[in-house]
């Protein structure tokens, strides 16, 4: 049985890694203009960085969903942290679009390993408090994501460059890899307890519940990454914000996302997984309504962005926690698919959003975010109905 000391060491190490990862990942959006200038490319071409980044994450999650069930999760975290550090350093120094996208691919591969390894490690260690624990580590991702755009907004007007933020974050992640080697448990095994009707190793892929969660993840990955990458541009074009103001508004989005995770970490001990997830998605839908209704209004636009961030806060961690409890006998495969689908959404939907903003303006992009939020809620309603009908893990539906 894992000691409390080992569990706390693992929790602290994963929190540090997630903070550093959030810092560098969220800095990409506000730096798109600088990347375009450094590589002599258009903003639309540089926007493909999100596609290549999450392509790397997708490949990583597909491979590591199987590998994690054989070697454990700690090696994924350490290797992923090293790759992210080198990848983001390459992004900062890139002077050609080809090198920029190649570095993003490497960083994305590391990001996928950290995402899968970190969430599943904590869900396995703190199984009975999985919603609280998984939301807790993602609070630190949100704190880093809040700090990144804020630092960019502070540094760029003074130094005329924000790539130093990426280099600083890469250094933190490299330190995090060393920390993980020293303090983490030697192996973070996946749960193998059978549960529900998914007993065979490959039968999990035939589950409608799993594919509904995967589609929910796809829309979430695309929507959240789109908000991260294009909020700065959206506010510059819709309400004429300066880069500094728009970057700080993006930080406010992540501040509310972090607050949402804090709230969901508390709600995890009061409500079921499905109830917490429903609360996050309803909040997101409300936020998109405010964003659309408040188009061209600076106050309402920022309120809408912040409300969406609040809703997004607990969506991903709670979705992962729900997946681990419904598919306990195939945690690596099930979570690997769900997280991979999020990467697919993050690969393509933000690029589509960028094309829409460049060709049609920012207003249609707001409707795209709203449609994604509604589709996520529809997927959750389907999952809940199937869980009730099949009586699989009923405690995830009702306390």
pLDDT digits (tens, 9 = 90+) for 40-91: 888 878 888 888 887 888 888 888 777 766 766 777 788 888 899 999 999 9
- All structural domains of the chain, each given as residue ranges with its CATH number in brackets, are 4-396 (1.20.1250.20)
Percent of the chain with pLDDT over 70: 90
**pTM of the complete model:** 0.76
Query: Are residues 237 and 291 in contact, defined by beta-carbon separation less than 8 angstroms?
Result: no
Question: Which residues contact residue 155 at a Cβ distance below 8 angstroms, ignoring those fewer than 6 apart?
Answer: 161, 162, 164, 165
pLDDT digits (tens, 9 = 90+) for 2-38: 567 767 777 888 888 899 998 988 888 788 888 888 8
| Pick from 124, 129, 271: nearest CA to 193 | 124
Local structure of residue 73 (DSSP, 8 states):
S
d(CA 76, CA 338): 17
Residue 360: CA count within 13 A, CB half-sphere: 11
Buried (b) or exposed (e) across 161-175, using 16+ Cβ within 10 A?
Answer: ebbebbbbbbebbbe
Average pLDDT in the 88-115 region?
A: 91
């Amino acid at each position: 049985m894992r000691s409390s000391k080992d569990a706390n060491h693992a929790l602290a190490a994963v929190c540090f890694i997630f903070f550093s990862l959030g810092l560098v990942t969220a800095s990409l959006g506000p730096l798109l203009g600088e990347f375009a200038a450094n590589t002599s490319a258009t903003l639309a071409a540089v926007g493909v960085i999100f596609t290549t980044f999450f392509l790397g994450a997708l490949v990583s999650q597909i491979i590591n969903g199987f590998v994690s069930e054989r070697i454990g999760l700690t090696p994924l975290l350490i290797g992923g942290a090293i790759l992210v550090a080198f990848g983001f350093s390459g992004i900062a120094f890139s002077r050609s679009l080809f090198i920029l996208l190649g570095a993003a691919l490497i960083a994305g591969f590391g990001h996928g390993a950290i995402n899968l390894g970190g969430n599943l490690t904590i869900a396995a260690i703190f199984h009975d408090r999985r919603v609280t624990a998984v939301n807790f580590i993602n609070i630190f991702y949100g704190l880093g994501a809040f700090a990144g755009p804020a630092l960019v907004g502070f540094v760029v007007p003074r130094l005329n460059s924000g790539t130093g933020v990426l280099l600083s974050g890469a250094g933190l992640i490299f330190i995090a890899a060393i920390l993980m080697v020293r303090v983490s448990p030697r192996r973070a095994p996946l749960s193998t307890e059978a549960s529900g009707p998914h007993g065979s190793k490959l039968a999990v892929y035939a589950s409608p519940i799993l594919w509904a969660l995967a589609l929910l993840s796809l829309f979430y990955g695309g929507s959240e990454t789109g908000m991260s990458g294009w909020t700065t541009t959206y506010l510059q074009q819709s309400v004429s914000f300066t880069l500094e103001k728009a970057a700080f508004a993006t930080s406010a989005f992540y501040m509310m996302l972090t607050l949402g995770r804090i709230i969901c970490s508390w709600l995890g001990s009061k409500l079921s997984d499905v109830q917490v997830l429903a609360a996050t998605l309803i909040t997101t839908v409300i936020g998109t309504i405010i964003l659309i209704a408040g188009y061209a209004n600076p106050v309402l636009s920022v309120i809408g962005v912040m409300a969406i961030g609040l809703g997004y806060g607990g969506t991903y961690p709670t979705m992962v926690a729900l997946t681990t409890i419904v598919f306990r006998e195939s945690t690596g495969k099930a979570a690997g698919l769900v997280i991979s689908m999020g990467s697919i959404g993050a690969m393509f939907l933000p690029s589509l959003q960028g094309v829409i903003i460049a060709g049609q303006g920012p207003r249609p992009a707001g409707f795209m975010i709203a449609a994604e939020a509604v589709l996520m809620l529809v997927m959750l309603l389907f999952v809940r109905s199937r869980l009730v009908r099949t009586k699989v893990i009923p405690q995830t539906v009702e306390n």
